[in-house]
Amino acid sequence: MKRIGIAGFGTIGRVVARHIENSDLPLALAAVSAGDRTRAEAAMAQLARPVPVVDTAELVALSDVIVDSAPTAAFRDIAEATLCAGKTLVTVSGAALMQWPGAAGFARDHGGRIILATGALLGIDAVRAAAIGSIHSVTMVTRKPVKSLIKADHVVRNGIDLTEIDEPLKIFEGSAREGAIAFPANVNVAAALGLAGTGPDQTRLEIWADPALTRNTHRIIVDSDSARFELAIENIPTDENPGTGRITAQSIVAALHDLVSPIRIGT
Which residues are annotated binding-site positions? Answer: 120, 188
What span, in angstroms and rounded, lies between the C-alpha atoms of 85 and 96?
20
Annotation marks residue 154 as catalytic: no
Amino acid letter, residue 167: E
Which DSSP state fits 68? E
Q: Apex CA 251: angle with CA 247 and CA 253, to 5°?
A: 115
Could you list the residues known to form a binding site for NAD(+), using ranges.
Answer: 120, 188
Cβ–Cβ < 8 Å for 232, 3: no
Question: What's the distance, Cα to Cα, between the start and end of the chain in Å?
Answer: 23
Report helix, strand or coil for 249: helix
Which residue out of 110, 136, 154, 218 is catalytically annotated?
218
Q: Strand runs (DSSP E) across 65-202, as ranges?
A: 65-68, 88-91, 113-116, 135-144, 169-175
Q: How many CB atoms lie within 10 A of CB 93?
A: 30
Burial class (CB in 10 A: 0-12, 13-18, 19+), 231: middle
What span, in angstroms and rounded, lies between the C-alpha atoms of 68 and 89?
7
Give residue 219's region: left, alpha or beta (phi > 0; psi -120 to 50). Answer: beta
Which residues have a catalytic role annotated? Answer: 218
